[in-house]
Amino acid sequence: MPETITPADVAAVGDPGDDTGRRFDYQHTYAAILCCSILDPSSSCVEIFCEHHEDILMRMAQGFQGVQVKTRNQDGEAWKATDPAIRSALCRFVQLDAQWPKHFCGFLIATNHFFFNTAATGSNLKYLLEQAKQANDFNSAPKNLKTFIQKLAKETKATSTAVLATLKKTRCTSDLPKLDDIKRELRETICGVYSPAQAAVTATLKRLADELVSETRRAASLDHRDALPGYFAALLNAQDEDVVRSIAGKRLDKTRILAVLQHSIQATSLLIPTTSPVAPVFPEKHTRLEKKLEAGGLSAVSINAAKDLQASALHKFLEWREALGEEEALKRYFHIKTAVLSDCSSAYETASVTSTPFGRAMLQHLKDRIGTRRQQGQTPLFDCLNEHLEGCAYELTNECKVWWSKPFAVGGETGEP
């Protein structure tokens, strides 16, 4: 090998690090997919715990479900009931069932590969689990199932009856996406349960998926320990408190999941007061917008901010046009303007009851309505910030569709709010 080539230039041989990391990432991504079920009104899943008693522990309305995730390359052999990884998972299920009687409603072995199913033998896991469901008791169970149960009982030191009871509520599925498809599956799942993501561009969907996976990874790795206060060790019940915090760090509920998604969907929505990447807008002096805001009693500072926010709203439209095309961008733009016009109308009617300049009061009412609209989550706002919506109000003002005072002649024009 030439001396100019170093270890940094050659791929490692026999190094399992990359493959191990990839499989852990797959598990964390699958956990994120299961987290999405919490947002589905038809799902009975309440909470997800990562690396807590199991790879993934699901709190269902009817009890807990333990999930073991098994990955294998496409060219690998089929999973068999006799595989050490499968038997280890089943033994774990038996032990959990014994440790927490009446708490577990089910167990699941989930894989991206396939199970051996070419013969009804003791190597066919699905066949054995189906036999277990049909068996009235251990004594009446088929021979191959009995043999399998006895092996698990010996390894777990549990009774054959207890092993059968656990197998009765155990399932296995090979429906998981392939290793390279799991992220796409997560993005599609997020779109199905989180309405603001349905109109998001591809880059935003990737960010949502990545952030949710990062959150499941943090939960699995006890990342929260870095945030434990320094005085923890001095507390008399420090160990108990640590346990409570550890479990809380592993728990993902609806509030935590929504917080991640809501933060991520707004993370890169910037306020850029230009309508093109290179040329800023230089509006005419004392524009229609300025005259109307002045009549409403708004200060010069507020008027300058309004002009920047108006330009930012127009820039957002150009971003959409670049990413989505003219037709889709216009649909979004007119949708947002229609929603904002409705809020402006309500704000105007509320504030205009006084004879004094009411622009400042109207602006506060408008901001309150925009905040309420976002909080209710019923109107798609795409990747707009509240400031983009306010900028749309100023664009509507420039179009003489919104007024901040009683209507008056503006350069020979009048209009109604």
pLDDT at 2 over 70: no
Residues 6+ apart with CB under 8 A from 169: 104, 105, 106, 107
Sequence length of the chain is 417
Q: What is the mean pLDDT of residues 275-291?
A: 58
pLDDT band at 124 (very low <50, low <70, confident <90, very high): very high
Q: What is the mean pLDDT of residues 124-140?
A: 95
3-state secondary structure of 367: helix
Q: Which range (143-152, 274-283, 325-334, 340-349) has the least confidence?
A: 274-283
C-beta of residue 175 within 8 angstroms of C-beta of residue 164: no
Angle at 329 between CA 325 and CA 335, to 5 degrees: 160
Strand partners, 60: 45, 63
pLDDT band at 364 (very low <50, low <70, confident <90, very high): very high
Angle at 279 between CA 317 and CA 282, to 5 degrees: 90
More confident residue, 265 or 151: 151
- Helices of type H across 141-253: 143-156, 160-168, 182-193, 202-220, 238-250
Q: Which range (49-58, 233-242, 303-312, 400-409) has the least confidence?
A: 233-242
Q: What is the mean pLDDT of residues 246-255?
A: 84
pLDDT band at 240 (very low <50, low <70, confident <90, very high): low
Residue matched to tokens 């591809």: 202
What average pLDDT is seen over the chain?
Answer: 84
Q: What is the mean pLDDT of residues 402-417?
A: 72
Separation CA 66–CA 49 (nearest Å): 10
In the structure encoding, which two tokens stand for residue 186, read together?
Answer: 């997560």
Separation CA 344–CA 337 (nearest Å): 10
pLDDT tens, residue by residue, 367-392: 999 999 988 888 889 889 999 999 99
C-beta of residue 377 within 8 angstroms of C-beta of residue 195: yes
pLDDT at 398 over 60: yes
pLDDT at 253 over 50: yes
One-letter amino acid for residue 273 of the chain: P
pLDDT tens, residue by residue, 154-186: 999 999 999 999 999 999 999 999 888 999 999
Give me the pLDDT at residue 18, please: 54
Question: CA 170: distance to chain centroid?
Answer: 28
pLDDT band at 203 (very low <50, low <70, confident <90, very high): confident
Separation CA 86–CA 232 (nearest Å): 40
Give me the pLDDT at residue 236, please: 41
- Helices of type H across 11-119: 17-36, 84-99
DSSP state at residue 7: G
- Helices of type H across 279-358: 288-295, 300-324, 326-351
More confident residue, 232 or 108: 108
Is the alpha carbon torsion for 10, 11, 12, 14 positive or negative?
negative
Give me the pLDDT at residue 12, please: 54
Separation CA 126–CA 123 (nearest Å): 9
pLDDT band at 264 (very low <50, low <70, confident <90, very high): confident
Strand partners, 63: 60
pLDDT at 193 over 60: yes
pLDDT band at 277 (very low <50, low <70, confident <90, very high): very low
DSSP state at residue 3: T
